[in-house]
A and B are shown apart, each in its own frame.
With several copies, the nearest count.
Chain A
């Protein structure tokens, strides 16, 4: 798909460029997190930034998730624009009090006085056999919370563009990044571009069925769609991107077009993002549906270590293909 208007880049490099640009453009912005500096970032996202911007702008912090997220909130209240990195989503639980009881709540409980223009970046998802305390997809926790803007970085375009957009938000943004994708190459526009963090995005058009997804699901759905296209099935892929507030309009509009939908996510099934999407569709587009809605989600198990079980614990392209064929009654192949 590469042409002169796009260029190839890894997901990691896209994230890094976004940081580099942010640090260059605004003195109020700084990055803080465990091992973001001297180590180069647990997953090498911030490698080289310390050297270029110095330790005031790229701050290594002690193991104190609640403390440094709280400090990020405080400095945001005072007019700075911190980017706080939480290495792995499991550790974010240590900072949940700060994220929810403070970051998401201060504006409200101060009657609109206290803004918290903070970006919290969190590495999540499976893919490296890191087992039951390092591999989760906890988008649903964040997406439940009023006051937060929750973004899921499911493509290279968003890896490159979402940070800048988030840093413009007066309200706290949680940006979920996917460790699994770091080394993956993808295309992004060659010219500078901005992304709109209020909208979902159709990543592929189709008329037979909608795949609604986000995060690690996006490329899996696109792959499935590609393969189904060869069988004459036209799948529309909607990347939710913004998990809170959800872009309901885009959801209802793809369903009104295809009349069938599967929601795909790596997160545990019960009380997940897919639940919410199904709920909205069944409330508001009930009469548009030609088939029951369907979810393909993570297995409800803390992630196991062995690769074959890890793979089995989230939906794969193959599973998506099977599910679509079944819904469309396309058993012939």
Chain B
């Protein structure tokens, strides 16, 4: 094995392998979740992020721990990347009290306030204004943290998007809007959702700097996110980042995928962010087979542990049904 001591940091490849392993964790975690869904351990809606991992990983790595995160119902990846324990996420999806939302929320409502992870919102577009509010609070409290809000391209058609963008720009608050453009809102393709499909151009209507990036390329996302965060931290102003990506799996476990060609999916799978980045790392000799296998093994172990944590978790007593409606 060759080593190049002069390019220490990058040649050691630690950082790069960490990015890869985060994406792999998300992928494997969700594959396991899908499996558990089939076994009816997990119920309700389950929205997989498979294919889009580079977005959550690339963006969230650029955030500090103090930065707030808000997501949609398709948020396992974000939660994992924010550092929520896979076990408490899995337990949540099982509906167990050990889950990160005490089992009340399920897959769509992962929360961890201590980690500044504010859900898991299942009303499309409903969390954008909340993100602006969190950022407004940061400004009022003279904190230096950013609020990062993920949403789909479908959400950008909602009036909430318009109001949130305008308020953020008007109030000059530090919020990063990340549009995960996976080309579909359930079964409705971008062209049936937006008259103007270059979504990054929508920023101009609010005077918000906007950039589109290849969301299948972890390095591109990372770079764009870092630039965005720098801009926000320096200016205190909002920023709009469009990540063009694709979901490989159905919208949720209820979806028969009548609305798109298998071929289209196959084409996109060639852009798999994990496979491709793995290739890049191999080419750059930043990862060995042994290292890769180690990562895989570690992830497998972590996920097995998560499942057994969830399995061993407990059901909340029915008598407690009325809890969490008002504060105690």
Contact = CB atoms under 8 A, between A and B. Distances in A.
Do A's and B's CB atoms come within 8 Å in the complex?
Answer: yes
A69 to B, nearest CB: 7
B44 A66 contact: no
Contact of A69 (B68, B112, B129, B155): B129
A131 B323 CA distance: 15
B104 interface: yes
B101 A62 contact: no
Interface in A71-107: 71-80, 82, 90-91, 94, 97-98, 101-102, 106-107
Nearest to A44: B256
Ordered nearest first, which 8 A-B pairs have the shortest CB separation?
Answer: A74-B133, A70-B129, A39-B187, A111-B102, A67-B163, A306-B95, A305-B106, A78-B137
B268 interface: no
Interface of A: 30, 34-35, 37-40, 42, 44, 56, 60-80, 82, 90-91, 94, 97-98, 101-102, 106-115, 128-134, 146-147, 149, 170-171, 245, 299-302, 304-309, 312-313
A38 B159 CA distance: 23
Given A35-B188, A102-B130, A66 B123 contact: no
Interface residues of B, number: 77
B170 interface: yes
Given A38-B258, A80-B137, A80-B141, A301 B132 contact: no
Contacts of B99: 111
Contacts of B163: 62, 64, 66-68, 70
A73 B164 CA distance: 13
B101 to A, nearest CB: 4
Given A38-B258, A64-B163, A71-B130, A110 B136 contact: no
Given A74-B134, A109-B101, A171-B327, 12 more contacts: A62-B163, A64-B157, A67-B160, A70-B164, A78-B68, A114-B113, A128-B43, A134-B108, A147-B325, A305-B109, A306-B96, A312-B321
A34 B157 CA distance: 12
Contacts of A73: 129-130, 133
A76 B137 CA distance: 8
B111 A70 contact: no
Nearest to A311: B318
B324 A74 contact: no
Interface in B95-126: 95-96, 99-106, 108-109, 111-113, 118-126
Contacts of A76: 133
A85 to B, nearest CB: 13
A37 B254 CA distance: 16
6 contacts: A42-B254, A70-B163, A74-B132, A74-B135, A110-B105, A305-B109
A61 B131 CA distance: 16
Contacts of A78: 68, 133-134, 137-138, 141
Given A109-B104, A313-B321, A62 B166 contact: yes
Interface of B: 43-45, 68, 95-96, 99-106, 108-109, 111-113, 118-138, 140-141, 147, 154-155, 157-160, 163-164, 166-167, 170, 185-189, 192-194, 254-256, 258-259, 315-316, 318, 321-327
A134 B324 contact: no
B327 to A, nearest CB: 4
Contacts of A67: 129, 132, 159-160, 163-164, 166-167
Nearest to B68: A78
B118 A114 contact: yes
A69 B157 CA distance: 14
Given A70-B132, A131-B108, A301-B322, A102 B170 contact: no
Nearest to B125: A63
A71 B132 contact: yes
A110 B101 CA distance: 5
Contacts of B140: 30, 56, 75, 80
Contacts of A74: 129-137, 147
Contacts of A130: 44-45, 108
B20 to A, nearest CB: 31
Contact of A301 (B113, B128, B325): B325
Contacts of A128: 43-44
B130 A63 contact: no
Given A114-B111, A132-B105, A305-B106, A63 B324 contact: no
**Best-buried of A30, A67, A80, A149 by chain B (most CB within 10 Å):** A67
B76 to A, nearest CB: 15
A170 B327 CA distance: 7
Nearest to B113: A113
A66 B160 contact: yes
Contacts of A37: 187
Given A67-B129, A70-B130, A146-B325, A34 B105 contact: no
Nearest to A172: B326
B45 A134 contact: yes
A30 B253 CA distance: 29
With most chain A CB atoms within 10 A of its CB, the pick from B163, B254, B327 is B163
B123 A97 contact: yes
Nearest to B173: A71
Contacts of A308: 315, 318
A62 B185 contact: yes
B275 to A, nearest CB: 29
A18 B16 CA distance: 57
Contacts of A75: 133-134, 136-137, 140
